[in-house]
């Protein structure tokens, strides 16, 4: 049940017929796992907290550095040298005091993810920056049937995909089964700061759609964003029958 103050706070959601009170109650009852509290995880977590998600579990093993502040908006200058999860937790609770935040300072390894598997997550957000971790999260998502909302960003471009909504859905690894992995990261190639904001905000949007039931479970796609051209392109993703992760 939503309290009187929550009915007021989330009134701009509730007035949308696609959400209404039932949808906002579903958001309140949701539990979202976010792996990575950097450029993508920052806006994703902030918008999910602002939207009224009841519980967030956030994972990161890093500390806030001065160079992070250019794009990781959940942290500020006073957070430098703090752990990212504790800095993020403070920002999230300042925005939404009733939110439950589970802050885990650790690498997202197989053992940790398996320990969290009974939490009943509505979705997992991959906000990491390396393929080993992305493939690990994808495998866990498949095994535990938790929808995966993945994004990447480097330079002036970003990618977004929603995977594993159903057992028959393509997975993240299906994208790369027959091609060489792309190289590059923000540290090597740079990043325009609002690009990660765009992609992280899209992750929050797609997560809320999953929670409310507005997503398209029969359709898996990859959305590419080119900030220089101000252009989005959407590509369908097919299940790879020989994929080592989901076939």
Q: 222 in a domain, yes or no?
A: yes
* CATH code of residue 106: 3.40.50.720
| Residue 134 is assigned to a structural domain of this protein | yes
| Nearest Cα residue to 36 out of 133, 111, 123, 147 | 133
Residue 200 CA to residue 85 CA, distance in Å, equals 17
- Is 89 a member of any domain? yes
- Give the per-residue SS3 of the chain: CCCHHHHHHCHHHHCCCCCHHHHHHHHHCCEEEEECCCCCHHHHHHHHHHHCCCEEEEECCCECCHHHHHCCCCCCHHHCCCEHHHHHHHHHHHHCCCCEEEEECCCCCHHHHHHCCCCCCCEEEECCCCHHHHHHHHHHHHHHCCCEEEEEEEECEEEEEEECCCCCCCCHHHHHCCCCCCCCCHHHHCECHHHHHHHHHHHHHHHHHHHHCCCCCCCCEEEEEECCCCEEEEEECCCCCCCCCCC
Q: Judge whether 73 lies within some domain.
A: yes
Domain boundaries, position 182: 4-236
Give the tokens for residue 175.
Answer: 């994208």
Question: In this structure, what is the dihedral angle of CA atoms 230, 192, 215, 150, given to the nearest 10 degrees?
Answer: 140
**154 vs 163: CA distance, rounded Å:** 21
Predicted pLDDT at 176:
82
Would 42 be classed as within a structural domain?
yes
What's the pLDDT score for residue 48? 98
Cα angle at 99 between 138 and 26, to 5 degrees?
65
Closest CA relative to residue 237, chosen from 195, 224, 229, 225:
224
- Give how many domains the chain has, as a whole number: 1
Write down the pLDDT at residue 32.
Answer: 98
What's residue 217's pLDDT?
80
Question: Does 186 fall in a domain?
Answer: yes
Asked if residue 245 belongs to a domain, the reply is no
> Does a structural domain hold residue 247?
no
pLDDT score for 89:
98
CA angle, residues 143, 124, 1, in degrees to nearest 5: 115
Q: Which pLDDT belongs to residue 143?
A: 95
pLDDT by 10s per residue, the chain, length 247: 999 999 999 999 999 999 999 999 999 999 999 999 999 999 999 999 999 999 999 999 999 999 999 999 999 999 999 999 999 999 999 999 999 999 999 999 999 999 999 999 999 999 999 999 999 999 999 999 999 999 999 999 999 999 999 988 999 999 886 555 565 666 677 999 999 999 999 999 999 999 999 998 878 899 999 999 999 999 999 999 999 899 8
- CA-to-CA distance for 207 and 147, rounded, in angstroms? 9
Q: What pLDDT, on the 0 to 100 scale, is given for residue 185?
A: 63
Determine the Cα–Cα distance for residues 142 and 77; give it in Å rounded to an integer: 38
């Amino acid at each position: 049940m939503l309290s009187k103050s929550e009915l007021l706070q989330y009134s701009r959601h509730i007035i949308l017929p696609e959400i209404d009170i039932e949808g906002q109650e579903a958001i309140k009852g949701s539990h979202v796992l976010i792996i990575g509290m950097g450029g993508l995880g920052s806006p994703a977590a902030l918008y999910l907290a602002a939207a009224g998600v009841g519980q967030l579990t956030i994972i990161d093993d890093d500390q806030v550095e001065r160079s992070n502040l250019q794009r990781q908006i959940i942290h500020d200058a006073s957070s430098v040298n703090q752990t990212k999860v504790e800095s993020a937790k403070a920002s999230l609770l300042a925005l939404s005091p009733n939110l439950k935040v589970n802050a885990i300072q650790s690498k997202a390894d197989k053992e940790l993810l398996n320990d969290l598997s009974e939490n009943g997550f509505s979705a997992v957000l991959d906000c990491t920056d390396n393929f080993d971790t992305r493939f690990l999260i994808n495998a866990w998502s498949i095994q535990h049937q938790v929808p995966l909302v993945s994004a990447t960003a480097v330079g002036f471009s970003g990618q977004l995909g929603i995977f594993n909504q159903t057992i028959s859905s393509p997975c993240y690894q299906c994208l790369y089964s027959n091609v060489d992995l792309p190289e590059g990261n923000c540290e090597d190639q740079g990043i325009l700061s609002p690009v990660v904001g765009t992609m992280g905000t899209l992750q929050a949007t797609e997560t809320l759609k999953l929670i409310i039931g507005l997503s398209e479970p029969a359709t898996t796609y990859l959305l590419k964003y080119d900030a220089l051209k101000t252009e989005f392109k959407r590509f369908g993703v097919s299940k790879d029958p020989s994929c080592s992760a989901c076939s």
